[in-house]
């Protein structure tokens, strides 16, 4: 029996196009995306720290980039990703205790993750601009 014939009878695994998106599935995907985005954002934080330690000229360059509308948009996205990922992690910690695993609870927690991350991001930015 050839190797090809062994695999031809196996069922194909469903893909995202087959499943109807539900809040918990979407938040799981977004949690992974925000986790990856945090790697890039951490490089931006490292660039800022290195510029701070290097010279005033380098620091001014980084501040100019981060102060532009594109830089502010990236920093806003980084802030949201950080907060969203943290709340998602807390949600998973709650699930690890065996609580909140009912369908209704998981859906509510998924929506709360999204809403709370947006609200907290707005509050952090309001605080940042109020203090500065």
Cβ atoms within 10 Å of 27's Cβ, excluding its own:
24
Predicted confidence band of residue 6 (pLDDT cuts 50, 70, 90): low
pTM: 0.84
Topology of domain 23-131 in CATH is: 3 helical TM bundles of succinate and fumarate reductases (1.20.1300)
Q: Which of 99, 83, 113 is nearest to 23 (CA)?
A: 113
Q: Which residues of 92-108 are buried (b: 16+ CB within 10 A; e: fewer)?
A: eeeeeeeeeeeeeebee
Q: Is 85 annotated as a binding residue?
A: yes
pLDDT digits (tens, 9 = 90+) for 49-95: 999 999 999 999 999 999 999 999 999 999 999 999 999 999 999 99
The tens digit of pLDDT for each residue in 117-126 reads 999 999 999 9
């Amino acid at each position: 029996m050839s190797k090809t014939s062994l695999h031809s009878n196996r069922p194909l695994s469903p893909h995202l196009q087959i499943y109807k998106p539900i809040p918990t599935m979407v938040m799981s995907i977004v949690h992974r995306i925000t986790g990856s985005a945090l790697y890039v954002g951490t490089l931006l934080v490292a660039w800022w720290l290195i510029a701070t330690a290097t010279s005033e000229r380098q620091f001014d360059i980084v501040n100019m980039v981060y102060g532009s509308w594109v830089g502010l948009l990236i920093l806003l996205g980084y802030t949201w990703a950080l907060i969203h990922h943290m709340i998602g992690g807390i949600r998973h910690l709650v699930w690890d205790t065996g609580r909140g695993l009912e369908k209704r609870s998981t859906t509510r927690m998924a929506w709360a993750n999204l809403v709370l991350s947006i609200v907290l991001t707005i509050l952090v930015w309001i605080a940042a601009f109020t203090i500065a």
